[in-house]
């Protein structure tokens, strides 16, 4: 049984000690910030991608998530959101240019929510999924899960398969995002798999966090990003 996270509304970045892990939550639907205000916070690369999305709902969710990411990172770096710079790994994983590896992060979005993991204990990956029914979950599992995971899925009662599928899927995604190799690339031969822990960020969802070493769940700081205008950010 996984914990349902209780988010603490916040507009400032608490100090993060070495080995610390902070999770931030924000809404990307109409409950979130005004998309035009958020668009003004984005960098040129993000703006181009946003304006290239033709579906209004997808575009607004993307804009809110990326603006929220910049706001959170700006809090830790003590710079305006628009000033946050990114570098990108071989498979496209972003890193904060100003942090020089001291501050790691990862973003996941699903449906109407986004989660941001902030780490000072090495590379971090996070994935969250909305537990929506799928008729193709066994076919997907056969393509990407291990043989043991597929066998466990097939042996599970029908009513439990959906939960097991998303438990395994989020672990797989968080693992691949932690080192930035991408979902369908093999781990480096000398690399060890990360620790993975699950939680429930909202009813009907499951999330997984991956890092080489994770603090106990009770030491995670879980924060809800306050709306624009509720803090001192431009």
Q: Domain ranges for the chain, please list them.
A: 8-225
Q: Are 73 and 84 in contact (CB under 8 A)?
A: yes
Q: What percent of the chain has pLDDT over 70?
A: 97
Class of domain 8-225: alpha beta
Longest Cα–Cα distance of the chain, Å, equals 53
Please provide the average confidence, as pLDDT, over all residues in the chain: 93
pLDDT number for residue 233: 42
Tens of pLDDT, residue by residue over 86-128, are 999 888 899 999 876 689 999 999 999 999 999 998 999 999 9
State the pLDDT at residue 36. 95
Q: How confident is the model at residue 46 (pLDDT cuts 50, 70, 90)?
A: very high
Residue 98 has a pLDDT of 85
- CA-angle at 106, arms to 87 and 76, nearest 5°: 80
Mean pLDDT of 47-74: 96
Burial 99-108 (b: 16+ CB within 10 A, else e): beeebbbbbb
Calculate helix-pair angle for 56-77, 44-51, nearest 10 degrees. Answer: 170
Residue 153, Cα to own-chain centre: how many angstroms? 25
- pLDDT given for residue 1 in this prediction: 60
Q: What is the pTM of this model?
A: 0.95
């Amino acid at each position: 049984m996984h914990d349902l996270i209780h988010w603490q509304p916040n507009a400032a970045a608490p100090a993060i000690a070495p080995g610390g892990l902070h999770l931030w939550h924000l809404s990307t639907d109409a409950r979130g910030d005004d998309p035009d205000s958020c668009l003004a916070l984005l960098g040129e690369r993000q703006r181009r991608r946003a304006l290239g999305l033709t579906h209004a709902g997808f575009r607004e969710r993307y804009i809110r998530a990326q603006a929220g990411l910049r706001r959170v990172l700006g809090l830790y770096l003590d710079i305006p959101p628009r000033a946050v710079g990114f570098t990108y790994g071989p498979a496209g994983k972003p890193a904060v240019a100003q942090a020089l590896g001291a501050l790691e992060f990862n973003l996941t979005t699903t449906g109407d929510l986004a989660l941001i993991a902030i780490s000072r204990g090495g590379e971090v990956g996070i994935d969250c999924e909305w537990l929506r029914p799928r008729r193709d979950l066994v076919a997907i599992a056969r393509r990407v899960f291990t043989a043991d995971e597929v066998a466990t899925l097939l042996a599970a009662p029908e009513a439990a398969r959906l939960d097991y599928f998303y438990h395994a899927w989020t672990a797989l995604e968080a693992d691949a995002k932690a080192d930035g190799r991408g979902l369908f690339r093999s781990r480096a031969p000398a690399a060890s798999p990360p620790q993975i822990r699950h939680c429930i960020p909202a009813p009907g969802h499951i999330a997984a966090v991956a890092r080489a070493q994770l603090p106990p769940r009770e030491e995670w700081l879980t924060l809800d990003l306050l709306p624009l205008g509720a803090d001192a950010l431009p």
